[in-house]
Amino acid sequence: MRTENCLVEFFADHQCHFSTQGGMRVIELERSPGVYTCRSYLLLGEWNQLGDVNTLIDPGTDGFVLDQIEKFSTGCGKVPVEQIILTHNHFDHGASVDIFKQRYGSRVFAWCDGKDVDEILYDGHIIKAADDFLQVLHTPGHSSDSICLYNQAQRILFSGDTQLRIRSPGGVFTPEYVESLRRLAHLKIDTVYSGHDEPMTSHIQETIHTTLANVRRSRIITTEEEKAELL
Ligand SMILES: [Zn+2]
């Protein structure tokens, strides 16, 4: 119980959702009502210790989440956003990166190089985040630079815009996306925090397996021209 009740009250006051399953805390920030933007997640350590790395996954289109972040207790003498990880470089996920770089000097990680990117990620990359770690999984499909981030201890997947729920066959997909789903289907996942949807907390393996089956029964493109069109 400890501080959990205090945290519940604190976060309720700030109209944010969070989870404390022990260790890393995932805070779902409110989205800007006026623009098309993604869901942003702030990862904080359980006790805001000096060695924790305050991490923001996908800052979104504008700086809307900044005010919310400023209201959180992110650790005495610590920078509220020490690093940013982009799940892919679409505007609704990363357009506001420069605002955070200017405000906090945040270090930015992404799969592909870009104006504000400090470090390029690779498949299997382990990044310290909050008081735990995230593993980078390259999951091309939505875009060629899409990644998922997996926290093994709490079985959390940050899926970005990698589509995990496709209810019926019939679309057009790349072979890379099939491979991405196949890899994700092997993971033990209790919670999915996606780029746009509500968190998924049940039947995750079944959902991914069903999606994989539906995608395999759909049209898989083979030529580079078709692929370029799709991406
Ligand atoms: Zn998106």
Give tens-digit pLDDT for 101-151.
Answer: 999 999 999 999 988 999 999 999 999 999 999 999 999 999 999 999 999
Q: Taking the model in full, what pTM does it have?
A: 0.88
With b for 16 or more beta-carbon neighbours within 10 A and e for fewer, the 71-94 pattern comes to ebebbeebebbbbbbbbbbbebbb
| Cα-only R_g, the chain | 18
> In angstroms, what is the span from residue 195 Cα to ligand 1's centroid?
6
> In angstroms, what is the span from residue 41 Cα to ligand 1's centroid?
14
> In angstroms, what is the span from residue 163 Cα to ligand 1's centroid?
11
Give tens-digit pLDDT for 169-202.
Answer: 998 999 999 999 999 999 999 999 999 999 999 9
Domain boundaries defined on the chain = 4-230
Report the pLDDT value the prediction gives residue 230, as an integer from 0 to 100: 64
Give tens-digit pLDDT for 207-220.
Answer: 999 999 999 999 99
> In angstroms, what is the span from residue 144 Cα to ligand 1's centroid?
13
> In angstroms, what is the span from residue 193 Cα to ligand 1's centroid?
13
Number of residues that make up the chain:
231
159 CB burial (10 A radius; 0-12, 13-18, 19+):
buried
Report the CATH architecture of 4-230: 4-Layer Sandwich (3.60)
> In angstroms, what is the span from residue 217 Cα to ligand 1's centroid?
25
Q: In this structure, how many other beta carbons lie within 10 angstroms of the beta carbon of residue 166?
A: 20
Contact 108, 118 (CB under 8 A): yes
> In angstroms, what is the span from residue 6 Cα to ligand 1's centroid?
33
Residues with Cβ within 8 Å of 191's Cβ and at least 6 positions away in sequence, in order, are: 19, 21, 26, 154, 155, 156, 157, 199, 200, 201, 204
| Distances in whole angstroms, Cα of residue 154 to Cα of each of 20, 68, 131 | 10, 25, 12
Give tens-digit pLDDT for 40-97.
Answer: 999 999 999 999 999 999 999 999 999 999 998 898 889 999 999 999 999 999 999 9
Of the pLDDT bands very low, low, confident and very high (cuts 50, 70, 90), residue 5 is very low
> In angstroms, what is the span from residue 100 Cα to ligand 1's centroid?
19
> In angstroms, what is the span from residue 95 Cα to ligand 1's centroid?
11
Q: What is the DSSP letter of 208?
A: H
Cα distance between residue 153 and residue 77, in whole Å:
27
